Structure formats: structure tokens, C-alpha cells
Amino acid sequence: MFKANPRSRFSLLWTVLLSICFFCFWTSPGFSQNKEVFIIDLQSDISAGTAGFLSDGIQKAQKRGSELIVILLDTPGGSVSAMQTMVKDIMNSPLPIVVYVAPKGASAASAGVLITVAAHVAAMAPGTNIGAAHPVPASLPFIPMPEENKKSVETEKTLNYFTGYARSIAQEKGRNADWVEKAIRDSASVTANEALTLKVVDLIAENLDDLLKQLDGREITVNKVKRTLQTKDLDEYSYRPSFRDKVLGYISSPMMILLLFLIGIGGIGYEIFHPGAIFPGVIGGIAIILFAYAIQFLPVNYSGLLLIALAIAFFIAEVKISSYGLLAVAGTVSFILGAIMLFKDVGGISLKFIITCAVLTGGFFMVVTALVIRTHRSKVQSGQQGLIGEKGIVKQTLDPEGVVFVHGELWKAISAEKISADEKIAVEKVNGLVLTVKRDI
């Protein structure tokens, strides 16, 4: 009878195990090879959320083993720091990246210019435009920047920095550095055909199919390695923003962060001064959480953050101490200085918008303070007549001190006997802002 050699059995088992391991690694996401073009849809403002979305997309394309990445771009511009992050991700990507300004009617304005120029291949659809990259402070439509301040806001130093930065990118990619500088200094803007003639972009494509057809066989350099694109018969995989990406993109702009801050302290402040409303406090709490979440995606100057925190302390102290507006004014000034210093992003937020936010915040606290003072004074003056005999409910057990809810407000109260929470009481006497109560039978 034939007997198998134990060594042969071991070799066979070892070969099977190696084959299984090799198969698992080969079919894992990190080693898979897909004959596909990975399409990233970027049709929004450039923000920290957009930068995160692009970074995640590049990583996912790597794991899927995609042949190349096509960024469908349509943007009016946005955050400088976010744009710089995106440019670095594009220029250092191990996969070839094509920025395609599309569909017809789309534009690559402001920060979109440098994102397009940084690509391994830059393309545009007919009827699109590119340009107007002059850096300006963020603003809102209803708070335009005064014409006379436009030149004073962006100094020559800022422009020199941006032009040097942009020219280095254009030269690295073999594109027209002189025109890119003109787009920054003079806000020059050109059509797709003009951009092709000026060698700002590499080609014009009617649609995605036409783009892939023109890319097939094109030789490019990716991280100093020459590659020939093979784009024929590639499958298309579309990567679109998730709900999280959309929310982050919306809340991560400097202006929106300041608005969230305003809503947050306004809602929480209202709840502090008028307990029981609930809804303003909930909205304020959510806004503050979103503020704390969004601020981590922007380059923050913590001195500015401390000044804003100091402004909050001044506003709260105004209510507690009643300095007749002095602390509110100090809080407003602290808020303005903090907001100006808060973001390291070049361009920042328009001073007019910051001052408007600060005045609204300070005005809110001053009005509420005045109402609180007037309410308390009126209660003291007419307390004997207006509160004695009023019915209420115990909110915090009286033993002998506690809190009661009388006449729509929370009051400190004392009682000769212990009265548990939720029991009914009646007011016997008023001593300043403290009520003497008894159990209501």
C-alpha cells in the first residue's frame, strides 16, 4: 500500500494556506484593482467640509484601486486654508487627478482657479469660465464691503504671497503662470476656449465620455513618475457628498461659525434669563455644539477664542452685576477683537460683518438686562400688593430654602415647614427678591 510522505502532506498544507492568504490579500480593498474612473462631485463653495470630502474621496479611490480620479468642479470659491489643503492633496495624490470644470455654465472662480491649475490634467466644458482669484474677506449679500475699503483690506503683502504661491503651482504643472498671477491681481476671467489658448488648461471636452476619450493614451507625470493613461472602457464610480459632508460644508465657513456662536449664546442666554421656555435653550445648545464641532476644521487662533469666551463672561456678568451697560460694552469690544483674531485664514471675515454680529450680541444682552432689572424693581415695589396671596408650585424642595415658580417666574423662597417639590404653595410675604411661602391647602 502507498503511504504519503508526512513532509509532502505538510508542503501541500503550507501551499494551500499560502494560496488562501494570497487570495484574501489580493481581493481586499487595499489591493483590489478596478478598471474604473473615480468621479468626485465638487459643486459647492470651497470650505473645510469640501476639503475633507476630497481627502476622503482620494483615499477611497486608492483603496478601490481606481485608474484615475476625475473631479467635476463648479465653485464660486471659498476658504483659502481649505483650498490650500485641497491643492496639497491633489498635487501629492498617488493617483492621477483630472479637474474637469463642468457641466456647461459651470465656473472655477477664486479658489477654484488654483484647484484646477494644480491638477495633473485640467479640462473644461464648453460654456464654462475660470478666473477672478483676487482674495477678498468673506461677507454676506446684505452686508457688502465698501468700495473704498477693498484696496485697504488686502495689502500688497497678501497679494504677493498669493501670486508667489499660485505661480509656483502653475510652473510645477507647466501652465501659464503669468495669467494665473493676472487672475489674482486683476481678477482676470476667461472662457474655456481662451483658457485653452492661454495654456491655462489642457483640453476642452463636451462631456465625461469625450473627456475619457481624449485622455486615453495621454502621458502625464504623477509624483515624478511618468504614466500613460488607459481610460478606454473604464467603468464610472460616482462619489457624492454624504449628509455629514453637506452639513459640515455648510457650517464650516468662518461666517457661519460666528452666526452659530451668536445663535448659541442668544438661545442659552434667553433660557438663563427666562427659565422654562426650553425651546431657545435647546436651539442654543445645538448651535454651540455645532460651533465647537465646526471650529476644529479651521486654523484657529486661540487668543481670539479666549477673547470671545471673555466676551461671553462680560455679557453674563452684566446681567448678574448690573453695571448699566459697561460690561456689555466691554463684551462687545472683546467680541470684535476676538472675531478679528479668531481665524488664521488669509482674507478672514469682513470687519463690517463682525461689528454687526458684536452689536447684535451686545444689544441683545443689554435689552435683556434692562428687562430683568425693570422686572425685579417692579416686583419689589409692588410685591406686597401683587404677590402676596399668589399661588405657585415648588420647583426645588423648601427645607427651609428652595425655589418656587410663581406668577410665571422662578423665585427664591423660604418656608417654616418642609415642602416637597411639585407641591402647591401660597405667598405670605415678600422680602426683596425672596418670598416667604406656606403650603397651599
Nearest to 291 by CA among 266, 258, 245, 243: 258
How large is the C-alpha radius of gyration of the chain?
A: 32
> Which one, of 80, 205, 200, lies nearest residue 135 by Cα?
80
Size of the chain in residues: 441
Whose grid coordinates read 478601490?
A: 64
CA separation for the pair 200, 118 (Å, rounded): 11
Residue 194: which of 186, 183, 184 has the closest Cα?
Answer: 183
110 is catalytic: yes
**Catalytic pick among 47, 66, 79, 110:** 110
Is residue 150 among the annotated active site residues?
Answer: no
- Write out the three cell numbers for 289: 455644539
Tell me whether the omega of the peptide bond preceding residue 400 falls within 30 degrees of 0, making it cis.
Answer: yes
Q: Can you tell me the distance from the alpha carbon of 228 to that of 269, in angstroms, rounded to the nearest whole number?
A: 62
**Rounded to an integer, what distance in angstroms lies between the CA atom of residue 154 and that of residue 194?**
28
Give the span between the Cα atoms of 260 and 298, in whole angstroms.
15
List 3, 151, 152, 157, catalytic entry: 157
Instruction: Cell numbers for 128, please give them.
Output: 464654462
Residue with cell 415678600: 430
Count CB atoms within 10 A of the CB of residue 324. Answer: 12
Three-state DSSP at 84 gives helix
Residues with Cβ within 8 Å of 330's Cβ and at least 6 positions away in sequence, in order, are 314
Q: What is the residue-wise DSSP string for 210-258?
A: HHHHHHTT-EEEETTEEEE---TT-EEEEE---HHHHHHHHH-SHHHHH
Q: Reduce the DSSP state of residue 74 to 3 states and report it.
A: coil
How many CA atoms does the CB half-sphere of 197 hold within 13 Å?
A: 5
Please name which of 47, 205, 177, 49 lies closest in space to residue 114, comparing C-alpha atoms: 177
How far apart, in whole angstroms, are the C-alpha atoms of residue 219 and residue 307?
Answer: 53
C-alpha dihedral, 15 to 17 to 19 to 25, nearest 10°: -150
Give the active site residues: 110, 157
